[in-house]
């Protein structure tokens, strides 16, 4: 790992972004001298981070070849924790999940119980590759530099819990902690090759991750994009209590938990957001009406974000994203009504193509970026020593 950081990342980044490259390609793309490039390539080859692929140019009588990033030099473990369960994955160094597993557990059970289940899942996945980093996604605001959750509305017991330190006895690798919607925004932006993307996560709660001009927007306290707890534009005559304690939040109308509460009031029992989606599939009129209204509420909130950030795509993931057109038509209706034509002309509003893995992909990508950035990411052991 030390070697990796000492290499500098310019040449490695070229391989990560552009795929297979010859020596000449690297010289041209990097602007570095031939001798510097040769030196970097040798270091990267020695570190096992690039592999020769053959078939490249031959210069000066010396057989040469192309090289590619060795995505299976090591792996990243990622866990995308939601309100009522998580997906864990072993990912390669390109963020691709190699193996995944899911567990049902309430995040409100607290960090000890949930993280123990995450470690259990990682152990079951039994990565064969060296673990170079761990990415943990949580459904709450994250102080990224400190790798802690701060003032989470729904994660009782998690406030400022030392997540990285908790992994220290289990793994000697840097830990990245990120908000779940932010991780999805990274995954969607990379997957689409776009610099301006809003990733909407619709599960029990409502969250949004923002990538603007290629940069993830976290905000001052890690709570940027938390549209679930902004005030809903359309409101019932009687104020709705949100689980954060405020009244009339977007989530109180459009979160999976709120939809379940509404259905329960008219005698329809559900045990998860997936049950709500199942009702839609069966054509349940009450559920269809509620989800259509939820789509409009979400559309109002998204329209504001579209006005501020001018994204190229709004990508929706999470359990409720499975609702289909009944949800999406409401979102689109309000966004196209409210945002200026210049903002909506090329705007795409669509379900993710990454499925349930959007979260772990984003977490893995962010962890890899952090590992290769050369930034000082203290290993968990060091955090414990300080704390
Ligand atoms: Zn709220």
Average pLDDT, the chain: 90
Question: 179 alpha carbon to ligand 1 midpoint, in Å?
Answer: 17
Q: How far does Cα 218 stand from its chain's mean position? A: 12
Number of Cβ atoms within 10 Å of the Cβ of 245: 9
d(CA 227, ligand 1 centre) in Å? 9
Separation of CA 171 and ligand 1 centre (Å): 35
Which residues in the chain show pLDDT less than 70?
1-8, 54-64, 374-387
**Any idea which fold 2-69 has?**
Arc Repressor Mutant, subunit A (1.10.10)
CATH topology of domain 75-181+360-386: Nucleotidyltransferase; domain 5 (3.30.420)
Confidence (pLDDT) at 223? 87
Residue with tokens 């040449």: 11
Ligand 1 centroid to Cα of residue 13, in Å, is: 40
Residue 210 alpha carbon to ligand 1 centre in Å: 19
pLDDT for 62:
56
The Å distance, Cα 290 to ligand 1 centre, comes to 18
Q: What angle, rounded to 10 degrees, do the helices at 23-30 and 10-18 form?
A: 110
Ligand 1 center to 250 CA (angstroms): 7
For residue 255, the CA-to-ligand 1 centroid distance in Å is: 10
Q: Hey, is 75 helix, strand or coil?
A: strand
Q: Where are the domains of the chain?
A: 2-69, 75-181+360-386, 184-358
Element (H, E) at 14: helix 10-18
Fold observed for domain 184-358: Nucleotidyltransferase; domain 5 (3.30.420)
- Taking the C-alpha atoms of 301, 255, 194 and 30 in order, what is their torsion angle to the nearest 10 degrees? 120
- Cα of 157 vs centre of ligand 1, distance in Å, is 18
CA of 207 to the centre of ligand 1 (A): 11
**Which residue, 373, 355, 14, 18, is CA-closest to 188?**
355
> How far away, in angstroms, is 302 Cα from ligand 1 center?
16
Asked if 298 and 253 count as a contact pair (C-beta separation under 8 A), the reply is no
Neighbours of ion ligand 1 (CB under 5 A): 229, 242, 244, 246, 249
Q: What is the dihedral of CA 110, 111, 112, 118, to 10 degrees?
A: 120
- Give me the pLDDT at residue 379, please: 39
Same fold, 75-181+360-386 and 184-358: yes
Ligand 1: centre distance to CA 228 (Å) = 6
CA distances from 321 to 188, 293, 312, 316 (A): 14, 14, 19, 6
pTM: predicted TM-score of the whole model, two decimal places: 0.90
């Amino acid at each position: 790992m030390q070697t990796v950081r000492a290499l500098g990342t310019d040449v490695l980044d070229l391989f990560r972004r552009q795929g297979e490259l010859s020596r000449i390609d690297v010289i041209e793309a990097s602007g570095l001298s031939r001798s510097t490039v040769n030196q970097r390539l040798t270091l990267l080859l020695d570190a096992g981070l690039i592999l020769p692929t053959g078939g490249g140019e031959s210069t000066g009588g010396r057989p040469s070849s192309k090289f590619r990033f060795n995505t299976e030099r090591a792996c990243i473990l990622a866990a995308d924790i939601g309100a009522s369960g998580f997906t864990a994955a072993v990912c390669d160094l390109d963020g691709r999940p190699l193996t995944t597993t899911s567990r049902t557990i309430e995040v409100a059970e607290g960090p000890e119980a949930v993280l123990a289940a995450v470690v259990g899942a990682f152990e079951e996945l039994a990565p064969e590759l060296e673990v170079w980093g761990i990415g943990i996604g949580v459904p709450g605001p994250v102080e990224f530099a400190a790798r802690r959750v701060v003032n989470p509305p729904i994660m009782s017991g998690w406030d400022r819990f030392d997540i990285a330190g908790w992994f220290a006895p289990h793994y000697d690798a840097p830990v990245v902690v990120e908000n779940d919607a932010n991780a999805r925004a990274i995954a969607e932006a990379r997957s689409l090759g776009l610099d301006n993307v809003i990733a909407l996560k619709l599960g029990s709660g409502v969250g949004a991750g923002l990538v603007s001009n290629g940069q993830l927007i976290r905000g001052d306290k890690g709570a940027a994009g938390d549209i679930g707890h902004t005030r809903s534009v359309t409101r019932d005559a009687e104020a709705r209590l949100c689980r954060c304690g405020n009244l009339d939040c977007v989530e109180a109308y459009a979160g999976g938990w709120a939809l379940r509460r509404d259905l329960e009031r008219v005698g329809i029992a559900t045990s998860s957001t997936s049950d709500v989606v199942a009702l839609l599939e069966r054509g349940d009129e009450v559920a269809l009406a509620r989800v259509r209204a939820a789509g409009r509420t979400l559309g109002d909130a998204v329209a504001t974000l579209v006005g501020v950030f001018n994204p190229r795509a709004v990508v929706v993931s999470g359990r409720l994203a499975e609702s289909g057109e009944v949800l999406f038509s409401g979102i689109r209706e309000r966004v196209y009504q409210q945002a200026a034509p210049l903002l909506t002309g090329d705007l795409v509003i669509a379900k993710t193509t990454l499925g349930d893995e959007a979260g772990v992909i984003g977490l893995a990508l962010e962890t890899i970026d952090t590992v290769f950035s050369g930034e000082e990411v203290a290993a968990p052991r060091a955090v414990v020593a300080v704390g």
